[in-house]
Amino acid sequence: MSIDPLLALLRSKARHTHKELGEILSLTEDEVRARIADWENDGTIVGYQAVIDPERAGDQDVSAFIEVKLTPERGGGFDRLALRIARFEQVSSCYLASGGYDLMVVVEGTDLREVARFVSERLSTMDGVLSTATHFRLKTYKENGFLIEGNDEPERLAVTP
């Protein structure tokens, strides 16, 4: 089943007015308003955010992607521990993943030491956490489907025969 076209439009640009969304999808403004209200009430839509270029905004915070290996719990798998990790204020995103680790956790802090302290003192010491691997974000090229272009001219790739 694919995503509802109205949800897809909201995901790509949440600043459309209800009237604009209705015109795009051949719905009335009231139909759009009611559907969005229903999704907000049932938790389908959990929030709205602006996608911000951290360099232009002067954001000096540090982000890290942390691979976490866990011991699954009997009867609950990874869910209970993953939700405990997700509740930390330093964690901005937490995903169950396939591959060589179980969770991908995105952590934010004011500097490298703050992130390192969180990993060494809070995350890696939790019962059920087997290991972590931390990767710091150096530069953002694309965030939530939006290119972060910066001031540089786009480079053209060399074409070789």
Same domain? For 10 and 71 the reply is no
Same domain? For 35 and 78 the reply is no
Same domain? For 35 and 69 the reply is no
Same domain? For 85 and 38 the reply is no
Count how many domains the chain has: 2
pLDDT of residue 13: 84
Do 34 and 28 meet the contact criterion of CB atoms below 8 Å apart?
A: no
Question: Is pLDDT at 3 greater than 80 in this prediction?
Answer: yes
Same domain? For 123 and 78 the reply is yes
Same domain? For 33 and 93 the reply is no
| Top-ranked range on mean pLDDT: pick from 2-11, 48-57, 129-138 | 129-138
Question: Is pLDDT at 118 greater than 90 in this prediction?
Answer: yes
Going by the DSSP 8-state scheme, the letter that residue 7 receives in this structure is: H
Per the domain annotation, does 146 fall within a domain? no
Same domain? For 78 and 23 the reply is no
Per the domain annotation, does 49 fall within a domain? no
* Rounded distance between C-alpha atoms, residue 31 and residue 113, angstroms: 50
Q: Bigger pLDDT: 14 or 28?
A: 28
Do 103 and 70 meet the contact criterion of CB atoms below 8 Å apart?
A: yes
pLDDT of residue 153: 55
Beta strands 91-96 and 142-143 are unpaired
CATH code for position 17: 1.10.10
| Top-ranked range on mean pLDDT: pick from 13-22, 73-82, 90-99 | 90-99
Q: Identify the burial level of 27 via C-beta atoms within 10 angstroms of its C-beta, where 0-12 means exposed, 13-18 middle and 19 or more buried.
A: middle
pLDDT of residue 157: 67
- Which band of pLDDT confidence, cut at 50, 70 and 90, is reported for residue 52? confident
Same domain? For 70 and 115 the reply is yes
- Which band of pLDDT confidence, cut at 50, 70 and 90, is reported for residue 109? very high
What pTM, to 2 d.p., does this model score? Answer: 0.81
| Residue numbers of the domain that contains 20 | 5-42
